[in-house]
Structure 1
């Protein structure tokens, strides 16, 4: 475990010097030090890190729940729903069609719909910070789309769970789905109406007690969720949703951050351990085709969102490129697919797809002015940040001695 942390840290530091995100580097560390590559084998059996990996997944979704607020939907209104719905319709629909075109099976196509359809919240947030675009007007629809994706993800995984579990009949599948949606609805109602009670239960000034309390709640509800047929990570997401609106929400966000980063790294590292690089050449053409489809759908979705908000070519390019990366959600689906015994080509396909887009996404976002030039209404790099405070604020910052 210590070697895994150190290997991930070394690669991440090296990649950070050339502007690469950490997620693909953590996966690469697992690939290089796993049983499928020559040289040092740090972990011979990926199952040795299975519990730590599961904890990393739970903490990743728990943190996303903390960042999400019901008020975000109310303030965004129709524009947020329309932009997010358009993005999902284009990307999830294209992913489903792509999955059927590959001919790997119906369950596999349903998994690929989510893989190709949902952006990486972690990478999107990092891109916005690194490019200095948090003050740009198009950042609000970008975050709105992420919020809509998070809601869709919860419903999508709840619906996908009984399919992957191999229900014996339609009635059994409906029963499993009903049980999952019922429990999910119960968690949603608790998040909506139980904030005061939850706030009292977690009201303590002692950081040690607060950490033990929220960690215990997240892991416990995650386990109960899995028993009801809802993905454990979604149970953790709902706990985060509840705690994020309490009086202790800000402290919890601060305290969970290092835990999320540490065990999240183990999750990505453990995923890399399970990948055999020798399998990647088998899926290289499907991976390249999927990346091309995602690029096209993101450009169309960016143009659609820009039109909804009345933006020009620059913000449209920023939206398209910022939301391009795929990451943790795709890996969640890969883990579920492997556990369900689906086509063995899915794991190397998802790994290659995530690695490629996790690198291309931030690089494309940093050069979004190239895309802005060729979009309708584009006149050059000056439009890359679009109207609003983004470029002006940075220009003022640059002029300060």
Structure 2
């Protein structure tokens, strides 16, 4: 009984400390996993030694790894990958391969790696980026649907998919002298396992899950999902592969069936709980004295990773025909080390591919790169613009900023320029064309450019905020400019540059957040539209009609709200 109470006490201490650490990190606008790591350090053997049995907590943390990878498998979407599939697949393979090669070369030359196997392992660990951190940062900045946001997420999804394969072939690195044979055996095991998994996911798993769902019992459904996740994970462990890979494949089995969303909704609370336990258990391994003594080495590793990965990603994105600005933002967005590198590093330590000291150095390096990611993303657009003003580089870089394709008459006048051909831009173009007004679209997505060509709509393919692109848009003779870009930073830069070319131009801008309305107006926008407020006005319009208000009164109320830039309806 005392042992059971001891485990409950340890479990409570870790979860309580993780909650406090995560809350503090959130208040400081840092990733919550850094709070989990810190909480583990504080309560662990190198901190206040509050736990009586750390090994039991680490055993429970294994479930966190399984649920983490299982949820990733359920969330994985082939549809998302198809949108930018070329750079997602080819680009991510290039990035992982080149990063692994560079890190292996540098670490072996400098003596940080004891051999080729360890060098390759370190390269693979450092090649992965943080899907959670990048997704959170893009969401906060309103840049999920931007071109650079889509490219980043596509590469990250491909990296996450590669993680399953990496975990499977990791044991082969234990036998560097027979690595070809070991890899062959590992790949054979993977193929057999995947074949069985595909068969199960096609004929058995959907029927099994639907049977439990038909009971309309939440607890039975959840028990079935947990049993599937842990059962497949233990199967891969018995084959000499990793628990993490099995959990990921179990998630993939469910990802394409009708109950995927319901499964994810049930598993997420468990995932978040046990994942916090996993990251806290990693924090328990951190020896602060060791980190302080190696602070210079850690800073060097951070610079090597973040600068090195950015220099690798930059030419890869340019190679696929994207602009310099897009390439810089993407390279600065995914140059950190990801949360799944913790899983890999822990697995490598268990397999004795790295020492405990190297493992701790990797943890510290990963944590610092995650903290720096938002700052690097903030500086990326400004750095891309400054490149164009560096003597000697200007002529070389102009070809990356210049429009890639121009599908329009040589001369245009009295036209409306529409920047962005997403959902909002497409509606604007349809309205203008239905009334017979000439339109010119500026767009940097190849998929959108194909639709424009198909419908014979004049367009310029390039970044709308590029000076070279705007020079081709005949803004001096245009009637108006409608800015419907998903990126707030590009919106502001485009507005500034457009008005510098044509100061009297009538510019209407889509605002992303409330605080931008006044700022864009002060910059010179003739009209600033906030989509959520406009939707609310239309709903209010309909309700007032239903309640019997006069049409003229309704128009005066709505016009007054629009005239004062939504001030009367903005949240306090």
TM over 0.5: yes
For each residue in 1:342-388, what CA deviation from the matched residue of structure 2 results, as whole angstroms up to 9, or x when unmatched? 32322111111111112112332244334334445699xx78xx994
Aligned to 1:70: 78
Map of 2:346 onto structure 1: 335
3-state DSSP class of the match of 1:58? helix
Q: 1:302 Cα shift?
A: 4.2
Q: Which one of the candidate residues 244, 260, 263 is aligned to 1:249?
A: 260
Map of 2:166 onto structure 1: 156
Aligned to 2:291: 280
TM-score in terms of structure 1 length: 0.88
In structure 2, C-alpha distance between the alignment counterparts of 1:303 and 1:170, rounded to whole Å: 32
Work out whether residues 94 and 293 of structure 1, in 8 Å CA contact, stay in contact via their aligned partners in 2: no
Structure 1 residue corresponding to 2:269, chosen from 253, 258, 264: 258
The whole-number CA distance in structure 1 between the counterparts of 2:41 and 2:95 is 32
Change (3 A) 1:62 1:375: farther
Q: Tell me which of 281, 293, 297 is aligned to 1:270.
A: 281
Comparing 231-240 and 10-19, the one that deviates more: 10-19
Could you say what secondary structure the match of 1:250 adopts?
helix
Query: SS at the partner of 1:2?
Result: helix
* Structure of larger gyration radius: 2
Residue 27 of structure 1 deviates from its aligned partner by: 0.8
Which residue of structure 2 aligns with residue 101 of structure 1? Answer: 109
User: Aligned pairs, how many?
Assistant: 392
Deviation at 1:308, TM superposition (A): 4.6
Residue of structure 2 equivalent to 1:372: 384
Deviations along 1:155-192, one digit per CA (max 9) or x if unpaired, are 2222212333x59966873574245323443256348x
Q: Secondary structure at the match of 2:356?
A: coil
Q: Does structure 1 retain, via aligned residues, the 8 Å contact 2:306–2:369?
A: no
Q: Work out whether residues 23 and 358 of structure 1, in 8 Å CA contact, stay in contact via their aligned partners in 2.
A: no
CA–CA separation in structure 2 for the residues paired with 1:20 and 1:174: 39
- Distance, in Å, in 2 between the alignment partners of 1:70 and 1:188 is 17
Is 1:359–2:368 an aligned residue pair? no
Q: Which residue of 2 aligns with 1:389?
A: 486
* Of 345, 354, 364, the match for 2:357: 345
Q: Are residues 287 and 188 of structure 1, via their aligned partners in 2, closer, same or farther at CA, if it must alter by over 3 Å?
A: farther
Which 10-residue stretch deviates more, 67-76 or 19-28?
A: 67-76
- If each structure's strand is expressed as a fraction of its own residues, which one has the higher value? 2
Task: State the Cα distance separating 1:42 from its structure 2 match.
Answer: 2.1
The aligned counterpart of 2:448 is: none
Separation (CA, whole Å) in 1 of partners of 2:294 and 2:339: 20
Contact in 1 for aligned 2:484/2:510 (Cα 8 Å): no
Q: Is the 8 A contact 2:66 2:244 kept in 1?
A: yes
Please tell me whether residue 182 in structure 1 is matched to residue 298 in structure 2. no
Partners of 1:171 and 1:92 lie apart in 2 by: 18
Q: In structure 1, what is the equivalent of residue 57 of structure 2?
A: 49
Gaps of 5+ in 2: 1-10, 389-396, 402-464, 467-482, 492-508, 518-529, 531-569
Quote how far apart the aligned CAs of 1:222 are.
0.6
Q: Structure 1 residue 48: deviation in Å? A: 2.3
| Distance in 2 (alpha carbons) for counterparts of 1:24 and 1:101 | 31
- Alpha-carbon shift at residue 310 of structure 1 (Å): 4.1
The answer to whether the 8 Å contact 1:119/1:325 transfers is yes
Shift of 1:296: 2.1
Residues 187, 56 of structure 1: CA spacing in aligned structure 2 closer, same or farther, 3 A cutoff?
A: farther
Distance 1:210 1:355 in 2: 36
Please list, as runs of the form range in 1=range in 2, the aligned pairs for 1:99-178 lying within 5 A after superposition. Answer: 99-103=107-111, 104-106=113-115, 107-164=117-174, 173=182, 176-178=185-187
